[in-house]
A and B are shown apart, each in its own frame.
Chain A
Amino acid sequence: MNLDTFRAETREWLEANCPQSMRNNPFHFEDAHEVYSTDDAIVWRDRMAAKGWTAPTWPKAYGGGGMDYDTHRVFQEEMAAIKALPGATGMGLAMIGPTLMEYGTEEQRQRHIPKIITGEVTWCQGYSEPGSGSDLASLQTKAVLKDGKFVLNGQKIWTSGAQHADWMFALVRTDPNAAKHDGISFVLLDMHQSGVTIKPIPLISGSSPFCETFFDDAVALEEDLVSELNKGWSVGKRLLQYERSAAPSRAKKKGKPANPYALTAKEYIGEIDGKIADSEAREKIVKQTMLEKSMQLTVKRVFEESKSGKAPGATTSIFKLVGSTISKESSALQSELRGTAGAGWEGDSFTEKELDACRGWLRDRAVTIYGGTNEVQMNIISKRVLGLPDK
Chain B
Amino acid sequence: MGDALTSEQPWFGTPREGRRRVLVSGVHRKVAGEFVSRLVADPEVEFVVGVSHGTCPPPLLNLDPDRFLMTTADLSRRDQVENLFMLDRLREANFDTVVHLAFQGNPKGYSVRRHEFNVNSTRWLLDGCLRRAVGKFIYLSTDAVYEVGPRSASQVREDADVNFDPQAHPIVRDTVDAEFSCRAKMDHDHCEIVVLRPSGVLGGGVLSGLNLLMESRPPLLPVGYDPLINPTSKQRLGRDLHLAATLRGKGLFNVAGPVVATLEGFMEARGISPQRVPGPLLTAAGRVQRAAGRSRYNQAFHPGRLFYSLVLDDARFDRCFRVPGSERVDRFGVDPVQSAIEGKRRVPTSFADAG
Question: Does A pair with B?
Answer: no
